[in-house]
Copies of this chain bind each other. A is one copy, B any other.
Amino acid sequence: MNDVAPLLAALKTAVGADAVLTAASDLEGFTEDWRGRYKGSATCVVLPSNTAQVSAVVRLCVEQRVPVLPQGGNTSLCGGAVPPNEGVPPVIVNLSRMRRIRQIDAANGSMEVEAGCVLKTVQDAAAAQHRLYAVSLGAEGSCQIGGNLSTNAGGTGVLRYGNTRDNVLGLEAVLADGTVWNGLRTLRKDNTGLDLKHLFIGTEGTLGIITAATLKLHPLPTHHALAWFAPLDPAAALHVLGLFQAACGARLNAFEMINRRQLELVIEHVPERRDPFGEAHEWHVLVELADTHGGDEMADLLQRTLEQSAEAGLVVDAVVASNDTQRAALWEIRHSVSEANKKGGVGLTTDCAVPVSAVPAFIEQATRAVQAIVAGLDVLVVAHLGDGNAHFIPFFTFDAWRELADPAATAAALRRAVNDVAHELRGTFSAEHGVGQTGLTEMAHYKSAAELRLMRAVKQALDPHNLLNPGRLLP
């Protein structure tokens, strides 16, 4: 492309001059990710205020064959919302000004929100109506609904409520030719052809720009019961999970496992975090029940299931939170892992999922695989065990990392080794983080030819000029 001036002028006419950023200093927060690992360049950043403006922007870009990169809270862990460094620099369409909650229908259990709404805002608005929007994750204070949908975000609510995909009833999206598709259904049932929303969920802005959504709301649980226990090993933890599912059914709200090394890092690097136990155990599980009704009855159920597990030799130690303060303190340990790992060294986070039944084998085999590459290497395990999603993290001290001859090559070899183990167990290399740019090599490596061909056929049909977030998701 030669001269961007006419496009910039047209964009300013379409959305207002204050909504088109071009100065290098203004672009910084949009062209780099929050961890500072990826940086690219953009023609400009556009901040539309409504769906019609998004449509107008896409039409103008398509006319000029300038790529369009939709962006939400820019909290991606795989560089999905950061522009590339080659090709025509895209117009970044940042949705953050579109943050209206358009409607809440408590009786229907639905709310219509714009893509730029921050997740936490949505959760709070639902709770004010005694309803739950069930998606919950670390970045919830800054990530946006549009990004959650485009990446099918996971988090700690998946065990009970599913991924973001499972918590949405309808979408509004701007297509590659600028057409606005209004699919803002609020229905529980609608069997009238291809369910189009699934084209846009999890496809990271490559098939359209999500501008609004109708989200599904649940009854708000009012009672909680939580325990922290030490299972004998991951296989025992899995067995205990089965006992909880059989006894507690839909009350089971969380089942999160970490290993001892991970707990030690949290205690060492995050103030006020303590080991729940007097002695050092190898494995740790946080289990939580939640219900709209409960009190003693639910606490009894938790206690009894733990006792049954202990009698079977599956649990070697346990503490039960006796009030909300203790419950929050135990959750804080789990929520502190990212901070601890960042402070404590260099962790190579992976994001595999395997069948739930295969998690113990995955941990064992992945440990062996990475230690075959770097002898004696520490590994951290942070597993959403109930979902089969184990963040298996080969971990270096800063010193050890500096001593590596070729850190990038070592990191790549370790990640591949972990992903290979998952793949062998019928698992995936990306359970919840998405593909973005970091996963492209893995996509090419692990996906079948049939699968890639299908995805490319749909991409070609919906975005024939390859202008929506090109170079992402699909290798």
Contacts and interface: CB of A to CB of B under 8 A. Distances in A.
A443 B191 contact: no
Contact of A105 (B192, B355, B455): B355
Contacts of A387: 188-189
A414 B193 CA distance: 23
Contacts of A446: 192
A38 to B, nearest CB: 18
Interface in A336-367: 353-358
A86 interface: no
Contacts of A448: 181-182
A471 interface: no
Interface residues of A, number: 96
Contact of A187 (B188, B355, B451, B454): B355
B450 A175 contact: yes
Contact of A455 (B162, B194, B219, B457): B194
A185 interface: yes
A56 B105 CA distance: 50
A439 B192 contact: yes
Contacts of A40: none
A130 interface: yes
Nearest to A454: B196
Interface in A38-76: none
A291 B433 CA distance: 33
A431 interface: yes
A471 to B, nearest CB: 14
A189 B389 contact: yes
B196 A202 contact: no
A446 B446 CA distance: 41
A133 to B, nearest CB: 15
A266 interface: no
A109 B356 contact: yes
Contacts of A96: none
A440 to B, nearest CB: 10
Nearest to A188: B387
A169 to B, nearest CB: 9
Contacts of A249: 218-219, 221, 250, 291-293
A265 to B, nearest CB: 24
Nearest to A244: B219
A93 to B, nearest CB: 19
Interface string A151-183: 110100011001101100000000100011111
Interface in A270-312: 291-293, 297, 301
Contacts of A402: none
Given A181-B448, A192-B428, A250-B251, 15 more contacts: A106-B242, A108-B357, A109-B356, A163-B189, A188-B388, A189-B387, A189-B388, A191-B202, A191-B428, A193-B202, A193-B474, A248-B292, A249-B293, A458-B461, A458-B462
Interface of A: 105-110, 130, 151-152, 154, 158-159, 162-163, 165-166, 175, 179-183, 185-196, 198-199, 201-203, 207, 218-219, 221, 238, 242, 245-251, 291-293, 297, 301, 353-358, 384, 386-389, 426-435, 439, 442-443, 446-448, 450-451, 453-455, 457-458, 460-462, 473-474
21 contacts: A107-B356, A152-B191, A162-B166, A163-B191, A181-B451, A185-B428, A187-B388, A188-B353, A189-B384, A189-B389, A191-B433, A191-B435, A192-B430, A193-B443, A193-B474, A194-B199, A196-B455, A199-B458, A245-B292, A247-B293, A249-B250
Ordered nearest first, which 5 A-B pairs have the shortest CB separation?
A: A250-B250, A198-B198, A249-B292, A107-B357, A461-B461
